[in-house]
Amino acid sequence: MNPADEPLGQLPGLSDAELPFPGRARLREHLLREAHASPAPARTRRRTALLLAAGAATCAVTLAVALGATGPAGPPAAAPPDPAAVRLLDRVALTAQEAPAPAVRDGQFLYTRTTGHSTALSEVPGGAMEASRTDGSAERWLSVDGSADPVERTARGTRTLRSDGERRATLNGPTYRFLESLPTDPGRLLEVIYADTRLNHGPGSGSTTGPDQEAFVAIGDLLRRMEAPPGVSAALYRAAARIPGVVLVPEATDAAGRTGVAVARVHDGERTEWIFDRSSLRLLGERTVLLEDSAWGKAGTAVTSVAVVGRGVSDRAGETPALVRPW
């Protein structure tokens, strides 16, 4: 082995032969840079994990992302990122950076079609709680420039997700133009994300998830919600590779039944996974898997799972694009 290639050989994960493009030299350069970089300080973002609706006779809980219980000091310190996960994320970043940017103009909408499910808990006679799946499949139209509210179509119908007051793009409600404004340097981008997650989930916030988990969730949401500019997508993946506790999952299946390899983070007995196609390294979807038995289900159960199955560009919200690219 060439001594310059030793960092690649020492990292577990996908073999070099599985690289879908000739990016070995760039990958080595990125890995050496990451190996000497310390993780960026944590910051925060807003995320609702359990939505509780309580009635006189029933109680339904819809799970978006489960929260964990921690002491006043916040979640315990996580291990450094798994080298295998770092390696995979860097390969994914290199692939994302070479992808063409979506051809969009102001006034249009980025269209995303997803399939999947979430989990609900309902109280049954006798006071026991029963878990059941709810359909999470949807079509969404997100304004390129923020000049219109998002529109969502599910089995329950089509609705406009109206904003309260001024339409202002944020990390939690981005537009394509907002994503274009984000830094493409992974360290600076992670600082922006952590600034939000630390504010809302850091010490004194009352949050039980903590800045690191929320940063991982925030990045996953940004990548899944809409196509981002290639440079920003690549920076998001490299930023995620710096988050403590990130690990590799050798095999995972998305909500559309497609198998791949995943990068994940564990929090409070649950593992949030980003699933990638092994050949193209494209992000297929995301799921949350129980690691221990609970009221939500047995260990190994995917309590939430969302797969992206189509993307496109539409001139009008609620209108399916003439060309929907299978994902």
CB of 11 within 8 A of CB of 84? yes
What would the DSSP string read from start to end of 241-267?
Answer: TTSTTEEEEEEEE-TTS-EEEEEEEEE
CB of 253 within 8 A of CB of 277? no
Degrees (nearest 5) of the Cα angle 81, 87, 88? 100
- 187 half-sphere exposure, CB direction, 13 A CA radius: 8
* pLDDT value at residue 236: 98
Q: Alpha-carbon distance 303 to 294, whole Å?
A: 11
Q: Which positions ≥6 away from 194 have C-beta within 8 Å?
A: 40, 41, 42, 43, 44, 211, 215
pLDDT one-digit tens code per residue, 295-320: 999 999 999 999 999 999 999 999 99
Residue 192: in which H helix or E strand, if any?
helix 186-201
The pTM of the whole model exceeds 0.75: yes
**Can you give the pLDDT of all 327 residues of the chain as single tens digits?**
443 333 334 333 444 444 433 344 444 444 444 444 433 333 222 233 332 233 333 333 333 333 333 333 455 678 999 999 999 999 999 999 999 999 999 999 999 999 999 999 898 888 888 899 999 999 999 999 999 999 999 999 999 987 665 678 899 899 999 999 999 999 999 999 999 999 989 888 888 889 999 999 999 999 999 999 999 999 999 999 999 999 999 999 999 999 999 999 999 999 999 999 999 999 999 999 999 999 999 999 999 999 999 999 999 999 999 888 888
* pLDDT value at residue 212: 96
pLDDT one-digit tens code per residue, 10-41: 333 444 444 433 344 444 444 444 444 433 33
3-state DSSP call for residue 38?
A: coil
* DSSP count for the chain of H helices, then E strands: 7, 13
